[in-house]
């Protein structure tokens, strides 16, 4: 687990209490994540990713569970369409 990722999530949400409310845990649990007392359970990683609009990813929070973040793919260009 990356403590910096949790710090970023708290900052983006505004407070430990706000992140806790978004994820459905107590503020004390968020404090434990921040201070390395316990890892973020995998079940809370996607809600944290959603609460931070993707700024903190499940891959950053738990690479041991989700692996490394896959590379972003460039958008597929639209094919030119013939109009008849």
Q: Is the pTM higher than 0.85?
A: no
State the alpha helices, DSSP H only, in the chain.
Answer: 3-13, 16-23, 27-34, 42-51, 58-61, 63-66
- CATH number, domain 3-66: 1.10.260.40
Q: What is the mean pLDDT of the chain?
A: 89
Q: Where are the domains of the chain?
A: 3-66
Closest listed residue to residue 30, CA positions, set 1, 69, 53: 1
42 has a pLDDT exceeding 90: yes
Q: What is the pLDDT of residues 1-29, one digit of tens each?
A: 578 999 999 999 999 999 999 999 999 99
Q: What pLDDT, on the 0 to 100 scale, is given for residue 1?
A: 58
Please enumerate in sequence order all residues whose Cβ is within 8 A of that of 65, keeping only pairs 6 or more positions apart, or say none.
42, 45, 58
């Amino acid at each position: 687990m990356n403590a910096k990722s949790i710090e970023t999530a708290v900052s983006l949400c505004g407070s430990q209490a706000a992140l806790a409310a978004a994820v459905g845990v107590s503020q004390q649990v968020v404090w434990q994540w921040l201070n390395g007392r316990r890892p973020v359970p995998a079940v809370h990683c996607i809600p944290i990713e959603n609460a931070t609009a993707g700024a903190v990813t499940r891959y950053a929070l738990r690479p041991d569970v989700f692996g490394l973040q896959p590379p972003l793919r460039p958008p597929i260009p639209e094919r030119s369409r013939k109009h008849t």
